[in-house]
Amino acid sequence: MSLQSAIFSLLLTAATTSAVTFFALPSRAEEAAPREIEVVVDRGYQPSTIVIQEGERVRLKFLRKDPSPCAREVVFPSLDLRRDLPVNEPVFLDLPALLPGEVAFHCGMKMLRGTIVVEARR
Ligand SMILES: [Cu+2]
């Protein structure tokens, strides 16, 4: 289990045991509106590399144009996230605050691949 998924599970546990605890966690990043990043799915993810900042709130907007069944779902294994992507229908996915490093995502068959690069705050 990576540190990121460990922290994410911890937050998830906190949220289920006590919503108050979860929302009481102070964070400057949580106050800002999430940055929306569009990812077009058309024989690959465009862009396939997404650069964000440590702890940044990001909302991914997947827009699948590729009708092939290969592209029908997107998976973030280390975050335990999975979404179905209907054709020509935007699907929004809010990422948890991430630590520096890389988070891989791919289609259900691991043929289409993308990476979120999380840069450390300076
Ligand atoms: Cu696929």
> What dihedral angle (degrees, nearest 10) is formed by the CA atoms of 104, 76, 84, 48?
-20
| Residue range 34-78, pLDDT digits in tens | 999 999 999 999 999 999 999 999 999 999 999 999 999 999 999
Centre of ligand 1 to C-alpha 13, Å, is: 31
Domain boundaries, the chain: 29-119
- For residue 122, what pLDDT band results from cuts at 50, 70 and 90? confident
- For residue 1, what pLDDT band results from cuts at 50, 70 and 90? very low
Centre of ligand 1 to C-alpha 57, Å, is: 27
Centre of ligand 1 to C-alpha 60, Å, is: 19
Centre of ligand 1 to C-alpha 44, Å, is: 9
Q: Which CATH number fits domain 29-119: 2.60.40.420, 3.30.930.10, 3.40.50.2020, 3.40.630.30?
A: 2.60.40.420
Centre of ligand 1 to C-alpha 17, Å, is: 36
CA angle at 32 for the pair 28 and 38, rounded to the nearest 5°: 130
CB 112 within 8 A of CB 106: yes
